Amino acid sequence: MSYRIPVIVNPAARSRRASRVVSQLMSLQPEPELHFTEYPGHATEIAERLAREGRELVVAAGGDGTVNEVLQGLCKVNAERPDPATHTALGALPAGTMNVFALELGYRSHKQLVEPWRITASGARRSLDLWMANDQYFVQMAGVGLDAEIVRQTTPVMKNTLGPLSYMLSAIKVLRDKAPVISVMVEGRPPLRGSIVLVGNGSNYGGRFRMFRHAKHTDGMLDVLIFREPINLLHAVELLGGSLLGLFDLTEDIDYLQLREFTVQADRLTALEVDGELSGCTPVSFRKAPFPLRVAAV
């Protein structure tokens, strides 16, 4: 029996354009099987059910938050299957506020979904490294400190109203607060301390900001940036601007490491985000998942 490709949609994401996104999805060929989320965590439940039904591919249509919710559901089922060839693959259509993972896969715009869908429906598959932060799976990025606190303070209403600008407004607020003291613990090394820790499996962070210049989804390593000193708004703008223009330069105040496994602690409870979603707080252990992730991509 053949199935249409299931696509999980967050209709509340960027609600001003939600109807346009749904219209685009309904016009795609082959016609997708749409599943709409109704509450936080619903995408995870839908993805798990579809994976248990034996669907070969489940697609997230939304931003990185929707992608991560779908990822959690698929991985819960895939973890029970010893043979990775039987795992349900993940697809991502860029239809949200932030679409970093879709960008990493080569999908450049949320304004036109036809080309990403063509590739998704073509049967093309890649295998990527999959990682865990405590018990949460992630595939693109994670952060402890400033960026996670920005995610925590950026409400759905702000994102629906202002889009990516909402993160900048939250950043201005968070940068006024005293930064935590964060320690990165690596076996066989003394602790590395800083105020912000950014973790990348792919090269992009927060959009087209290429912060992790050496990162690859298939090298079995996480790229880790440790900002030794607290940063101010001007410094943050310079860093993001430099990374956007390909001029991001590591300074003596930033440690850049490639690690397979490490733990992050802080002098107080400090927020953690994975793939742009708030996912708990310190302490957090980063390690490779026991199986890879199959994705719909060339």
The mean pLDDT of 221-242, rounded to a whole number, is 73
Same domain, residue pair 83 and 114: yes
Which region among 11-25, 69-83, 94-108 has the lowest average model confidence (pLDDT)?
11-25
Q: Are residues 157 and 262 in the same domain?
A: yes
Give domain status of residue 131, yes or no: no
Same domain, 195 and 269: yes
Mean pLDDT of 145-163: 79
Residues 81 and 160 in one domain: no
Asked whether residue 295 is assigned to any structural domain, the reply reads: no
Is 111 in the same domain as 239? no
Tens of pLDDT, residue by residue over 52-89, are: 999 999 999 988 989 999 999 999 999 999 999 999 99
Angle at 80 between CA 78 and CA 81, to 5 degrees: 70
Contacts of 291 (CB under 8 A, 6+ apart): 78, 79, 84, 87, 130
pTM: 0.88
Looking at 21-35, 45-59, 71-85, 109-123, which range is the least confident one? 109-123
What b/e string do you get for 179-210 counting C-beta neighbours within 10 Å, with b at 16 or more? bbebbbeeeeeeebebbbbbbbbbbbbbbebb
Domain carrying residue 167: 137-290
Q: Scan for tokens 């693109």, then name that residue.
A: 140
CATH number at residue 200: 2.60.200.40
